[in-house]
Amino acid sequence: MSAGTGTGTGTDTGTGTGTGAGGAAPYRSKLPPARDGFWQLLRAEFTKLRSVDRWLLTLLAGVVVTVLVSLVSAGGSEMATSDDGGGSGTEAADRVADSFRFVHRPLAGDGSVTARVTDLTLGRGTDAPWAKAGLIVKAGTEPGSPYVALMRTHEHGVRLQYGFEHDVAGGAVAGDAPVWLRLTREGDRLTGYESADGERWREVGSVSAAGLPRTARAGLFVAAPETVRVERSFGSLSIGAGPSEATGVFDNVRLEGGGSGGSSSGAGGGSGAGAWQDEAVGPPSGPAAANGPVGGTERAGGTFTVTGSGDIGPRPPAGDLTWMSLAGAQVGLIAFAALGVLFITAEYKRGMIRTTFTAGPRRGRVLVAKGVVLAAAAFAAGLAAAVVSFLVGQRALRAGGHRPPQFPEVSLADGPALRAVVGTGLLLALVALFALGLGALLRHTAAAVTLVVVPFVLPLVLGGGLPLGAVEWLFRVTPVAGFGVQSTTPHYEQVETVCLPEDGCMPQGPWTGLGVLAVWAAVVLALAAWRLRRRDA
């Protein structure tokens, strides 16, 4: 019988409630005060990263794939080098182009050479914007010997060039207007001047005469580089090189100063006519070689009509060995992208992001901490992958016949190679950051991984099938521009080369390219941070 005690059992707890609310002292923790600064967030995110074995395996897979693909692609590239290739001269001469038509006299000590270039015309079938006619002071007629040259070019105005690599722009030449040039040696300086009328002179540039002997050869020259044609449409690439020839017309030619004779050698070709020597410097190059030496010189009174072929300038290596040995990063990046995406989407998938944001309510800061930890880990792994790829890749390339002189040896101690290797680590870290941002935006693993990988893989894989202009555009503005940091092919404005982005010839400088990728990563992360703060977790 339980008459009248309907609420009896509840009474205990009922009273307990009353005292609990009012009486018992609220809880005080005995833990020392904690800290929740940025450093603590970094440690938390690092602990997350290292405590999922699968993620570490992903990173390791990224390293292994990068190295293996680099090795395979380097080993698969065979190069037949002809032994007589090195016979033409010194190694230095092989790295430069030095063939042209030279009309010269000795110049001892200080002096100057002056001429008016009245015309520069290209031979039939020649398309050479860098065809040139002008004045040159050169140590001798040996190919590869030091020189300083002042010239008018077919499409690039007046230039002062020296040391095979250097190129200083002068004024523009309007149409076929004649242009006056003067090259002066004074002590250890050579200075180039240009003028429209032979009276008012403007300095183009002044350079050191280092390497030039006291008595050098000075005179007129004409050169026209090979015509290079790259035609590419969907699926087909054709590279054509054709012979070239240019003709320059000079008058008012004066050589002043310490000639072998006197102070002033005949203006306009008077007295010392016999002293002018005319010869072709350097080996005829390219298809022209088959037709024998090109060019010659005709004199009519004071007018020299000089026809020549060839070029004076750097000869970029036939392939970018550093780029070739780092090719594995193009595939390895997929693992880095996957890790970057997973580092955030794994938290969304299971709802752990809520725990993350209750521990760190400042979400932007959490994302930054994630980014720092991820980038550091990806950089370390990427750098290791790049160093190993480079070392084994160089061995494989040498074994495959990529040897000097056509392919100068590269080592990690070379500035450009070191930049490419360290840059590859940075590149992979940026790929991971870009992926982190997309993961945070999309909150979906597969979608985000696809969206990261596609812009990288498509230009690299399909690049060969697109018109050159489209590929260059892709490599300039899309995230794949980051691969520019792997390129060590030197760029010389004054040399026309076959330049294909998928072979490592990037349309912009290495750091600019990496910067483009960095901007992409930054923009995506900024968007992600903005959305994280606004959206419910």
Number of residues that bind another protein (CB under 8 A): 59
CA dihedral in degrees (12, 18, 22, 26; nearest 10)?
50
Q: What is the DSSP string of 252-315?
A: EEEEEEE-SS-SEE-TTS-GGGGG-EEEEES---GGGGGG----EEEEETTEEEEEE---EEE-
- Indicate whether 357 belongs to the interface with another protein (CB under 8 A): yes
Q: Does 354 bind another protein (CB under 8 A)?
A: yes
Check residue 347 for interaction with another protein (CB under 8 A).
yes
Among 172, 300, 318, 352, binds another protein (CB under 8 A): 352
Q: Pick the piece of the chain touching another protein (CB under 8 A) from 88-96, 198-206, 353-361, 445-453.
A: 353-361
Name which of 468, 321, 426, 10 is nearest 476 in CA terms: 468
41 touches another protein by CB under 8 A: yes
Amino acid at 492: Y
| Piece in contact with another protein (CB under 8 A), picked from 25-33, 268-276, 317-325, 515-523 | 25-33
Among 34, 80, 174, 290, the residue binding another protein under the rule CB under 8 A is: 34
Region of 32-40, 118-126, 300-308, 480-488 interacting with another protein (CB under 8 A): 32-40
Using the rule CB under 8 A, give the single segment among 7-15, 106-114, 196-204, 397-405 that binds another protein.
Answer: 7-15
530 binds another protein (CB under 8 A): no
Residue recorded with tokens 């095979």: 164
Q: How far is 231 from 470, CA to CA, in rounded Å?
A: 13
Query: What residues contact residue 505 under an 8 Å CB cut-off, 6+ apart?
Result: 320, 487, 489, 497, 498, 499
Nearer to another protein, 357 or 511 (CB): 357
> Minimal distance in Å, beta carbon 69 to another protein?
27
Q: How far is the CB of 26 from another protein (least distance, A)?
A: 4
Give whichever of 36 and 409 is closer to another protein, judged by the CB atom. 36
Q: Can residue 44 be called a binding residue for another protein (CB under 8 A)?
A: yes
Q: What is the DSSP secondary structure assignment for residue 483, as one 8-state letter?
A: G
Which residue intervals of 400-444 are DSSP H helices?
Answer: 415-442
Structure tokens at 237: 């690439």
Q: Residue 448's closest CA among 436, 433, 438?
A: 438
Is residue 4 involved in binding another protein (CB under 8 A)? Answer: yes
Among positions 139, 346, 453, 458, the unique one binding another protein when judged by CB under 8 A: 346
CA 32 to the chain's CA centroid = 55
Query: Rule CB under 8 A: which residues touch another protein?
Result: 1-7, 9-11, 13-14, 16-21, 23-31, 33-37, 40-41, 43-48, 51-54, 346-347, 350-352, 354-355, 357-362, 536-537
